[in-house]
Amino acid sequence: MKKENIHEELEQLSPLLFELKKQGEVMYTPPDYFEALEEKVYEKLEAEGGRITPPVSPWTVWFSPLRLSVAAALTAVVVSVWGFLQPAQVAQAPVAAATPFTLEEEAPVTLTSDVAATYIKENILEFDEDALLAAYLEEDEDFDIQPAPAKKNAKKTTTSTDDLEEILDDLTDEELEDLL
Amino acid sequence: MTAQRTAIISDEEILALLRGGERTFERGFRALLGKYQERIYWQIRRLVTFHEDADDVLQNTLVKVYRGIGQFEGKSALFTWLYRIATNEAITFLQQKARRASVSMDDEDNTIVSRLQADEWFDGDDIQARLQKHIAQLPEKQRIVFNLRYFEEMPYEEMSVLLDTSVGALKASFHHAVKKIETAFAQ
C-alpha cells in the first residue's frame, strides 16, 4: 500500500490548510525546558509520596521477552545437538546387519578369498575405489580376485605375427602379386 | 545520560533497566524520559494548546508512568503505552477545565484566540490562532487523528496501531476534520 504523503493529501483536501502547514511550527517551548523536566518530575514524585521504586511483577521479570528468547535459543541448541547425535548411532545398524561380523567381534586375521570376495561384492559401495584398485594391483595372495574374463565377441585391436603368417599362407600367388 | 545515547537506546534496554529492581530503575526511567519526553510533550501540547497546561499534564503523565511501569506487560509498544496515558491525561484535563470554566462555548473559543495571541510560546498570526480554535472545537477522536496526521505527519498505518482503529476509519476521520475546519474558516 502506497503511503500517502500528508502534503499531497492536504493539497487535494484543503488548499488553505496546505498553505498554513507550509508556514511551519508556530508553537515553542521555553529554553532548556526538557533539560529541566526530569528534576521537576522527581520533585513532584517526592511531593506526592516519595520516589518509591515501584514493585516489579515477578511474572514480567521471569517471563520477559528477552528471557523467553534466550530460553528458546538454548532449547533449540540443545535439541539440535541431540538430533545431530541421533543419526550417527542409527546409521551404524544397517552396516552391522549386512556384514558377517558384528561390531563387537574383531575381524579374523586371515580371510579366505571366497569370504572376502563375497563381502566386497555385497558392500562394494562402502569401499573406496582407489583402495580397491590398489589392493588388486598389489597381488595379495589372500585376495585372489581374478580379472573378469574377456568377452567372446570382444573386438581384437592388434594382430600377432603368427596370425599374419597364417593369412599369408592362405593367399594365392595372384593375390600376393596384387598386394605387392 | 546524553541525548545522543538515549536516542539510540532500545525499548528493550529501557524495560530491562526498569525491571532490574531498585539498582537500575532510576537509570531506566531517565533513559525513558530522554527518549520520549519531547514526543509525548507535543502530543499533549497539540491537545491542550498552551505550554503551561501541557507542562502540568506532562508531569502528571510521567508520574503515572513512574508508578505504573510495573504493570506494563509489553503487549504493545512502549511508546503506544506512553501515548495512551498522555492522551487520557490531556482529555481528563480538558474536561475538568471545561467544568471549572463554566463559560459558553463561544466565550471559550474567543478565550483561546485571545490567550494565544498573548502567549509568549505561540508565534503564529491571527489565522494560526483561529486554526487552533477550530481544532479545539473538533470532536475528541477527530481532534486526536487530525493532530497526529497534520502536525506529527504520522502515517495512517502507524496511527492504526497506536489508536487501534482501521486505516480507512482514520482517513475518513481526518478528511471530516479537515472539511469541518475549512467550513469554520469560511463562516
CB B30 within 8 A of CB A11: no
d(CA A21, CA B128): 10
> Is residue A70 left, alpha or beta, with left meaning phi > 0 and alpha meaning psi from -120 to 50?
alpha
CB B28 within 8 A of CB B61: no
Of residues A114 and B184, more confidence is placed in: B184
Provide the pLDDT confidence category of residue A162 given band limits of 50, 70 and 90.
low
pLDDT at position B73: 85
Asked if pLDDT for residue B93 goes beyond 80, the answer is yes
Asked if pLDDT for residue A133 goes beyond 70, the answer is no
Contact B182 A38 (CB under 8 A): no
Q: What is the mean pLDDT of residues A69-78?
A: 83
Of residues A87 and A155, more confidence is placed in: A87
| A60 vs B19, B21, B62: nearest CB | B19
Minimal CA separation from A16 to chain B, in Å: 8
Of residues A46 and A118, more confidence is placed in: A46
Instruction: With CA atoms as reference, report the closest residue to B53 among B93, B13, B103, B16.
Output: B93
Least confident of A41-50, A116-125, B21-30, B150-159: A116-125
* Entry field: residues in chain B: 187
C-alpha angle A103/A104/A107, rounded to 5°? 75
Minimal CA separation from A75 to chain B, in Å: 22
Least confident of A10-24, A131-145, B37-51, B83-97: A131-145
pLDDT at position A71: 79
Minimal CA separation from B68 to chain A, in Å: 7
Minimal CA separation from B33 to chain A, in Å: 7
Provide the pLDDT confidence category of residue B1 given band limits of 50, 70 and 90.
very low
CB B30 within 8 A of CB B44: no
From the CB of residue B76, how many other CB atoms can be counted at a distance below 10 Å? 15
> pLDDT exceeding 70 applies to what percent of chain B?
91
From the CB of residue B90, how many other CB atoms can be counted at a distance below 10 Å? 23
Of residues A57 and A19, more confidence is placed in: A19
Q: What is the mean pLDDT of residues A72-83?
A: 86
- Among positive and negative, which fits the CA dihedral A37, A40, A46, A48? negative
> pLDDT exceeding 90 applies to what percent of chain A?
22
Asked if pLDDT for residue A20 goes beyond 70, the answer is yes
Q: Output the average pLDDT for chain A.
A: 70
> pLDDT exceeding 70 applies to what percent of chain A?
44
Residue pLDDT, tens place only, B119-164: 999 999 999 999 999 999 999 999 999 999 999 999 999 999 999 9
* Entry field: residues in chain A: 180
From the CB of residue B132, how many other CB atoms can be counted at a distance below 10 Å? 22
Instruction: With CA atoms as reference, report the closest residue to A20 among B127, B110, B175, B181.
Output: B127
CB B30 within 8 A of CB A38: yes
Spell out which chain A residues touch chain B, with contact meaning CB-CB distance below 8 angstroms: 1, 3-4, 6, 9-10, 13-14, 16-17, 20-21, 23, 26-30, 33-34, 37-38, 40-41, 44-45, 48, 51, 53-57, 60-61, 64-66
| B178 vs A13, A23, A56: nearest CB | A13
CB B76 within 8 A of CB A58: no
Q: Which three cell numbers stand for residue A76?
A: 533449540
pLDDT at position A143: 43
Give the ipTM: 0.87
Contact A27 B121 (CB under 8 A): yes
